[in-house]
Structure formats: structure tokens, C-alpha cells
Amino acid sequence: MTDADLKELLKRVQTWPEAAQDELVSLANQIESELQGNDYVATQEELQVIDEAMASIDAGEVASDHEIEAAFGRFRLK
């Protein structure tokens, strides 16, 4: 990507919905933080999702082998 490509993209971003712009800023901040060698800090929303997942596991709500294979199958290159 050239400087011109990046500048053109940033111009288009200004026409995006605010939520999409916020998501781009968040992603860019994460990338910059990683490039600077900083540790990742999860958001409150991410921590809540993790807590909910852990509670499900603790309650015995786990996927079957078939469900796991089907999920991974969707992401495999064909």
C-alpha cells in the first residue's frame, strides 16, 4: 500500500458510519500498541465475553467433537 492509497482510504473512512470508524480506530490502536511492544489490554466487553465463556465451561456446556470439527471446517482453506 502506498501513501496515496492510505490517504485515499482515510478519505473514504470519513464517509463510514460512526460505529465503523470507531472500530477502525480501535483496531489501529491495537496494531500500533503491538508494534510498540506493549501488552494487549482487553476491553470490558472482551472480559465479559471471556467470563461468560468460562461460566459455560464450568457449567459443563461444551461443544461435542462433531460441533468442533464442523466449526473448524468452516475456516479451513478448500
Three-state SS annotation for the chain: CCHHHHHHHHHHHCCCCHHHHHHHHHHHHHHHHHHCCCCCCCCHHHHHHHHHHHHHHHCCCCCCHHHHHHHHHHHCCC
Q: What are the tens digits of pLDDT across the range 6-51?
A: 999 999 999 999 999 999 998 998 899 889 987 878 889 999 999 9
Q: What are the tens digits of pLDDT across the range 9-21?
A: 999 999 999 999 9
Write down the residue that cell numbers 485515499 correspond to.
Answer: 8
| Residue (of 71, 53, 70) closest to 62 by Cα position | 53
Write down the residue that cell numbers 482453506 correspond to.
Answer: 77
| pTM of model > 0.85 | no
